[in-house]
Amino acid sequence: MPIDYLNDYRDPKLIAALAARIKAEASRPLNIMEICGGHTHTIMKFGLPQLLPPQIRFIHGPGCPVCVMPKERIDHAVALASQPNTILCTLGDMIRVPGGKISLQQARAEGADVRALYSPLDTLKIASENPDKTVVFFAIGFETTAPMTAALIDRVVVGGVKNLLFHINHILVPPPVCAIMDDGAAIDAFLGPSHVSVIAGGDIFLPIAARYQTPIVISGFEPVDMLESVLMIIRQFNEDRREVENQYSRAVTPRGNERAKALMDRYFTPRETFRWRGLGDIAFSALKLREEYAFLDAERVFAHCLSNEPIDDHKLCLCAQILKGRAKPTDCKVFGKACTPNSPLGSCMVSSEGACAAYYRYAQLL
Ligand code: SF4
């Protein structure tokens, strides 16, 4: 019988059977970090912690690209949107994240031309419809979305588009995982991100598993996927293995999408350092435009009005600790009170992948 991709991975009987196997085979306490914010939402939406024995704990990780963007980068976007004759384009949730003073949404309310897009390629139409304006694409995301930005840059370069610039905030998964482990986090194993792995390939996690002796199981997003991945981690410990395994084999290969990686490599190169919210400066943890495409780089063209001075989070906000796996949203005193999705104090409450947003939504607070 063919697989029903919508329902089979949420099959209650399969979920119950996997939960029973986990209970039978779990032999020691395990702190498992799910790197990806999409996994955090599955955990909360389907109540997975309630299905597991208490010694198996999920620790939420830094895999929400909106959440980890520091305030000074948000301020870059606000400063760019405030330039005369400029249109600032970005993806979805980014416009609601508070910067040092205001968010892009507030900048728009004050008259700036800020557009939230579903696809980076939409900026081509905006640029062609506004030839007398400068359009800036504020690009965010992990290895998952970087190829889409690279494809847009390719269209701009090949098509000779003259009024489209890029502010690149593409970040990479392995460096912050190493930073968290080097910081002494008590994490025994990782659930690897699936979409990132589709592009970058499962092999990018081999050095991490070897260096920290932590199992990493690349997991799909559905509850059956995630419970099977937890079982695979438990079996690794029971068999004294510490390996990268691929539960999401219906989409992930060891080397990933070679065409997408080649396109990224054509236009991007690693950035010497990048500041992450909560994690600080991490070397070679992000991408920037290659030198030959500096003329497209809004960070260089508008360098005179962009500051890189670090800006602290709201003093009550625990996003930094949550992104390091050292706190849960419910540890925050203002969770669900002064901080809600309609009035977020921190980035983790904004994004559809943020841990605070997941707790709020699935705790029936919405
Ligand atoms: S509830 Fe709000 S203030 Fe608290 S950690 Fe989450 S985002 Fe920050």
| pLDDT per residue as tens digits for the range 83-117 | 999 999 998 789 999 999 999 999 999 999 999 99
Burial of 221 (C-beta count, 10 Å sphere; 0-12/13-18/19+):
middle
Q: What do you get for the CA distance between the two ends of the chain, in Å?
A: 39
Residue bearing tokens 């909560």: 278
pLDDT, residue 188, reads 98
Instruction: Please report the domains of the chain, with CATH numbers, ordered by start residue.
Output: 1-316 (3.40.50.11740), 319-362 (no CATH)
Q: Is the pLDDT of residue 275 over 90?
A: yes
Distance between Cα 347 and ligand 1 center (Å): 7
**CA 81/CA 129 separation, integer angstroms:** 18
Distance between Cα 343 and ligand 1 center (Å): 10
**CA 305/CA 76 separation, integer angstroms:** 8
pLDDT, residue 352, reads 79
pLDDT, residue 4, reads 82
Angle between helices 122-129 and 146-159 (to 10 degrees): 40
Q: Is the pLDDT of residue 364 over 80?
A: no
**Per-residue pLDDT tens over the stretch 181-216:** 999 999 999 999 999 999 999 999 999 999 999 999
Q: Which two three-digit tokens encode residue 173?
A: 């998964």
Residue with CA at minimum distance from ligand 1 atom 6 = 356
Angle between helices 355-362 and 37-45 (to 10 degrees): 20
Amino acid identity, position 182: D
Give the atom of ligand 1 at the shortest distance from the alpha carbon of 355.
Answer: 6
Distance between Cα 249 and ligand 1 center (Å): 35
For the sheet containing 113-117, what is the strand order? 113-117, 86-91, 134-141, 164-170
Answer whether 0.85 is exceeded by the pTM.
Answer: yes
Best residue for ligand 1 mutational test, from 316, 332, 340 (most atoms within 8 Å of Cβ): 332
Burial of 71 (C-beta count, 10 Å sphere; 0-12/13-18/19+):
buried
**What is the CA 52 to chain-centroid distance, rounded?**
25
